[in-house]
Chains A and B, each alone.
Chain A
Amino acid sequence: MQSLAQVPVVFSQVFNYQDHGLITETSRGVSALPPLDAHLAAWKKLDPTLARVGLIVGAGHESLRTEAEIAAQNHGVELRIQEAGSDQETLYHFKRIIHEIDGFWLFPDNRILSPRVLTEILQQANRRHVPVAVSNEAMLQLGAAISVSTIPSDIAATIVQVLERIRAGEIDTVPPMTQLSEVRVLTNDALMKPEVAAGTAESGGKGGSQ
């Protein structure tokens, strides 16, 4: 990135971009996650009874937390956010909030997740019939209930959009991270509530962008 200091750079698919110093004067990012509002809207649409959602995330994601809180407020969901510093702490907090939530929003923060903890979270959530929402369709195999993921064409279009604005000299007006606009929703019907599973359909939706 330093060697590319004068070259405008657009990055994408990096969750912990702040740890790598990817935001500079000439670099901008496209969000790795689908728009959280759309994510929550899709989840809420699938499960209208969703009322309390738990979220554990590592340090340095204040904007993400804000976005999640706004999305929760928009959709009438109470959001329980806990910050963790390690996978052990993630599991520790998860065990404490699992009894108070209707769903768990798993953000892909690799710093605070490990295979063991992932497995443990998904097993415990399944035992308690607490659906886990993820941003990766592959996680459905491990026990996640709903996947709201980005669409490659949307990622590509958003990247192109940002590139064009940068080329047009509007880099200063381009936010550090541009939100995606589309989501792809997939569910693991076996882990959804029966009434929810009956109404599940693959859907896409336009989400807002920051």
Chain B
Amino acid sequence: MATHTAEPAAAGAAAVEHLTLEDRVWLLRAMLLMRGLEERAMTLYRQGKVPGSFYDGYGQEAVSAGAAFAMGPRDRLCILHRDLAAHLIRGVTPTRILAQYMGRAMGITGGRDGNVHFGDRRLGCVGMVSMLPDMTLVATGMAMAFKLRGEQRCAMTWFGDGSTSRGDFHEAMNWAGVQKLPVVFILENNQYAYSTPLDKQFAVDPVERAAAYGFVGVTVDGNDVEAMFEAARAARERALAGDGPTLIEAVTMRMHGHAAHDDMKYVPKEQVEEWRKRDPIERQEKRLRDLGEDVDGLRASVKAEIDAAAEEALAAPMPDPSTAIDGVFCAGEAEPLGDGQAPWSGFFGGEA
């Protein structure tokens, strides 16, 4: 089996080859929506309208937007907490996301779980748990079922640099390698696990472990949404061809604290400033402006959408306390995950 180590993903021309102008605008729009929604949610948090704490993915928008964009409607996703764009691409509405943050009944979990712990089962997504990276195994199991049934589908999951230290990371990589499963692992390397830097987390770059598990590992600029898309697209193609899993290390930076309470004083200011120059949204905006796209118009339409969503979500009722003990068990038939939205033009040819 051919394995590659830390092979730089082909971005640029290769990505553009598979993306129409409309796709490239879609990618920017997903990132703008993610950033705008998270900024609005942070404001709502400060106003006391978001209970608990608040976690965001500022500066990491390209990782989830680019990767999720390459997934087909029948593929299945296990999404992490700094990956809001993946939910948007699958078709979760901004209103339901803001309602989710505020613990409203119309939120994706109906107030059952905290802000970023959600996945819309009807759109093929499973929400994360706090124990990381538990969902790597769940995604591996989905891929196992796809392979057993001979289906042309793949599973994708995101996890951070810190979670590569835990046993479930090893168990999932090993299992997927042994069974050569159609699963795409996105290692979102944002430099810090809460306050812990990379050099306290691993002795070798974890992307190099892919070769040890018998499959391809690639390192991608996680702040380039088109490079992320291209790496995920190629990984999915490999998965569907029966060539097994791919580990994609998306190199990015957590620009905010772990959560709203975290002032991030353990991060050198220069490091943040350096990464600010590589903002994924500015980068995609420049590309599109250079092509003559009306980026300001897009920004205005995204803002209007968020304003409307916030208004609707703020008016939505809280859950009824009398329902707090309902639904621990499924009382009817077990209904599997449904299909999600897949806006990439590559799927318009009728691929299901």
Q: Do A and B bind each other?
A: no
Interface residues of A (CB under 8 A from B): none
B interface residues, Cβ below 8 angstroms from A:
none
